[in-house]
């Protein structure tokens, strides 16, 4: 009986953990759903239930005829060494006939800065981009499903680029030229801020706090330059 009690404890905990995981999984937010003639895209989600934004359209509904193309954008980031880490986006380009209407209607809802609002979609140059990091299924599988459910939607060619940070870690000086600073800022904006801090600390022989301060400084400088360019 004692042995049975010891054996039943882990089994009980495992079963409870599985049940809790299933409950949480059933409440996970979806980001994009394709049907036979429409594509539904969740623009943002509220972190809490008590909000006053019920009037805002949080789901973008596009008919198949209103979509110019759907494609994948990939960036291979070489942080250190020959093996890259990939970042993928789903890119949705509305048809020219509705591009202006959709942009003017959706852009205000995406640029609002409510603290309880988690924006899931970016709007840039008339296109909607969704970073496909936590979503399932895999992006290629999702596009295959869309093509199967709605053959009239054009699946555009894959757009790929690279970001190589290997040359930044040579030498111990933090006086990096503007091009290398821009590479670091781009890598941070892609979600590799912690890795950049760790590599700076390791190869530039500085503390983690100093590396974090340096990255924050060059990001502020880059943001300031972008703002000045836009104002001119």
168, 171, 172, 175: CA torsion to nearest 10: -60
pLDDT at residue 22 in the model: 39
Sequence-distant (6+) residues with CB within 8 A of 169 are 80, 199, 203, 204
Say whether 50 sits in a helix, a strand or coil. Answer: coil
Q: Per residue in 91-132, pLDDT tens?
A: 999 999 999 888 888 888 887 777 888 889 999 888 999 999
Confidence of residue 21 (pLDDT cuts 50, 70, 90): very low
Tell me the C-alpha to C-alpha distance, in Å, between residue 35 and each of 39, 113, 133, 200.
Answer: 6, 31, 22, 46
Q: What is the pLDDT of residues 26-74, one digit of tens each?
A: 445 789 988 788 899 999 888 776 666 556 678 999 999 999 999 999 9
C-beta separation of 214 from 221 below 8 A? no
Q: What percent of the chain has pLDDT over 70?
A: 81
Distance CA 216, CA 193 (A): 10
> How many angstroms separate the CA atoms of 26 and 3, rounded?
36
The model carries a pTM of 0.77
**How many C-alpha atoms does 185 have within 13 Å on its Cβ side?**
18
Q: Which contiguous run of DSSP H or E holds residue 201?
A: helix 193-203
Q: What is the pLDDT of residue 51?
A: 63
Structure tokens at 12: 């009980």
DSSP tag of 110 = H
Q: What is the pLDDT of residue 173?
A: 93
Higher pLDDT, 168 or 46: 168
pLDDT digits (tens, 9 = 90+) for 185-204: 999 999 999 999 999 999 99
**3-state class (DSSP) for residue 34:** strand
Q: How far apart are CA 143 and CA 146, in angstroms?
A: 5
pLDDT at 37: 85
Instruction: Kindly indicate the confidence band of residue 175, based on its pLDDT and cuts at 50, 70 and 90.
Output: very high
């Amino acid at each position: 009986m004692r042995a049975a009690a010891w054996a039943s404890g882990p089994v009980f905990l495992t079963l409870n953990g599985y049940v809790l995981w299933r409950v949480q999984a059933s409440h996970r937010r979806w980001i994009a759903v394709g049907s036979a003639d429409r594509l539904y895209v969740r623009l943002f989600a509220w972190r809490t239930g008590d909000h006053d934004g019920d009037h805002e359209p949080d789901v973008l509904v596009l008919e198949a005829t209103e979509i110019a193309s759907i494609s994948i954008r990939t960036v291979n980031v070489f942080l250190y060494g020959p093996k890259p880490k990939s970042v993928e986006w789903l890119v949705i380009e509305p048809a020219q006939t509705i591009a202006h209407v959709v942009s003017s209607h959706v852009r205000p809802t995406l640029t609002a800065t409510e603290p309880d609002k988690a924006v899931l979609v970016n709007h840039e140059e008339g296109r909607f981009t969704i970073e496909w990091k936590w979503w399932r299924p895999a992006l290629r599988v999702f596009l295959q499903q869309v093509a199967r459910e709605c053959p009239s939607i054009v699946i555009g060619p894959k757009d790929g680029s690279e970001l190589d940070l290997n040359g930044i870690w040579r030498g111990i000086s933090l006086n990096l030229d503007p091009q290398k600073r821009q590479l670091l800022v781009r890598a941070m904006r892609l979600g590799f801020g912690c890795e950049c801090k760790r590599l700076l600390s390791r190869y530039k022989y500085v503390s983690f706090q100093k590396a974090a301060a340096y990255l924050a400084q060059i990001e502020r400088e880059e943001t300031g330059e972008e703002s000045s360019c836009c104002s001119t």
